[in-house]
Amino acid sequence: MSEPEAQLVRLMRDSKYTVVLTGAGISTESGLPDFRSPSGLWKQYDPMKVATIWTLRADPELFYDFYKKRLAIMEGARPNQAHFAVADLGKLGMVKAVITQNIDGLHQEAGSSNVIELHGSLREAACIDCRRPHDIGAIKLDQVRRCDCGGLLKPNVVLFGEQLPPDAFELATGEATRCDLMIVVGSSLEVSPANMLPAMVKARGMKLVIVNLGETGFDTRADLVIRKKAGEVLTAAAEALKRGGGRRTQT
Ligand code: NAD
Ligand code: ZN
């Protein structure tokens, strides 16, 4: 185990309340591209232009076309070792909550229980007017679909131009004000307001660890930055913590 990984294990052993904040980078090892990777889908479509509430209203066919492709990619994806390591750490009581910007549902599939989805879920659809949930199958069809109320159906994810679900963000800020250690995994921390959460943790003088391949705007404020693949780092940490029986008993 490398020294940064050993330092992560020490921070987790010393913590009484650790939360994990994840982004698209934790799911790249499951074959789901993040925004910045040179994958076909994100090259073909600019998410800032297509995955917006304005595109859904103005050009629903283009919007549906993009989400149908995104759903097809997501359908084959399974959790990877990073999701499983986070779930194992949750079962050991060493991760109290997982706050995710992802919409792929892979944390829950890996067995994490306290998952806060900041940007909704691609596993169901909803009406943009009455908000009633609908089967995600509606988005996979060729025609643009409407609810009984006449509203357009969209995947139940937060689109650019939409507010975050207030309850999810409230739960997340609750965790950010309760934790003594936040581990950010696979996020560029460029998307707001999710990136307010690590700022809250540092404002309270608590510890912040960033496990991310690329640089983030929070690297200089973090107590530890590990620029390695999430799967490798989290598996090593979970194995060490399992071997050590979880929480430190002596002080
Ligand atoms: P991002 O694309 O802005 O950043 C991802 C970061 O992860 C990058 O800095 C990259 O260097 C890093 N990374 C990639 N693979 C990694 C790995 N194996 N280990 C460690 N780090 C790795 O993603 P973001 O910060 O989540 O913000 C973008 C938005 O994209 C979010 O709103 C999210 O909802 C959405 N998104 C979600 C998914 C998904 O649900 N799987 C996929 C693409 C985009
Ligand atoms: Zn409706």
119 included as an active-site residue: yes
DSSP output for 186-231:
S--S-STTTTHHHHHHHHTT-EEEEE-SS--TTGGG-SEEE-S-HH
Q: 59-92: buried (b, 16+ CB within 10 Å) or exposed (e) per residue?
A: ebeebbebbeebbeebeeeebbbbbbbbbbbbee
- For a ligand 1 pocket test, name from 34, 48, 118 the mutation site with the most ligand atoms within 8 angstroms of its C-beta: 34
pLDDT of the residue at 246: 53
pLDDT of the residue at 140: 78
The verdict on the CB of residue 188 being under 6 Å from ligand 1 is yes
Query: Which-ligand-closest: CA of 138?
Result: 2
Name 209's Cβ contacts closer than 8 Å, sequence gap at least 6: 8, 11, 181, 182, 183, 184, 222, 223, 224, 225, 226
| Structural tokens at position 146 | 């409407």
Q: Return the SS3 of 155.
A: strand
Q: Return the SS3 of 94.
A: coil
pLDDT of the residue at 202: 98
Q: What is the pLDDT of residues 84-95, one digit of tens each?
A: 999 999 999 999
Instruction: Write the DSSP symbol of residue 158.
Output: P
Query: Which-ligand-closest: CA of 145?
Result: 2
| Contact criterion met (CB below 8 Å) for 127 and 56 | no
pLDDT of the residue at 41: 66
Query: Which-ligand-closest: CA of 31?
Result: 1
The verdict on the CB of residue 190 being under 6 Å from ligand 1 is yes
Q: Which atom of ligand 1 is nearest to the CA of 211?
A: 20
pLDDT of the residue at 199: 98
Cis peptide before 38 (omega within 30 of 0): no
| Contact criterion met (CB below 8 Å) for 130 and 153 | no
pLDDT of the residue at 247: 54
pLDDT of the residue at 245: 57
Gap between the Cα atoms of 182 and 206, Å rounded:
8
Q: What is the pLDDT of residues 59-86, one digit of tens each?
A: 999 999 889 888 988 988 999 999 999 9
Q: What is the pLDDT of residues 116-135, one digit of tens each?
A: 999 999 999 999 999 899 99
What pairs with residue 116 in β-bridges? 99
- For a ligand 1 pocket test, name from 35, 123, 218 the mutation site with the most ligand atoms within 8 angstroms of its C-beta: 35
Nearest by Cα to 19 from 198, 144, 186: 198
pLDDT of the residue at 249: 44
Side-chain half-sphere CA neighbours of 130 within 13 A: 9
- For residue 133, how far is its CA from the centre of ligand 2 (angstroms)? 9
Side-chain half-sphere CA neighbours of 223 within 13 A: 19
**Which residue positions in the chain have pLDDT lower than 50?**
249-251
pLDDT of the residue at 127: 93
pLDDT of the residue at 40: 56
Q: Return the SS3 of 19.
A: strand
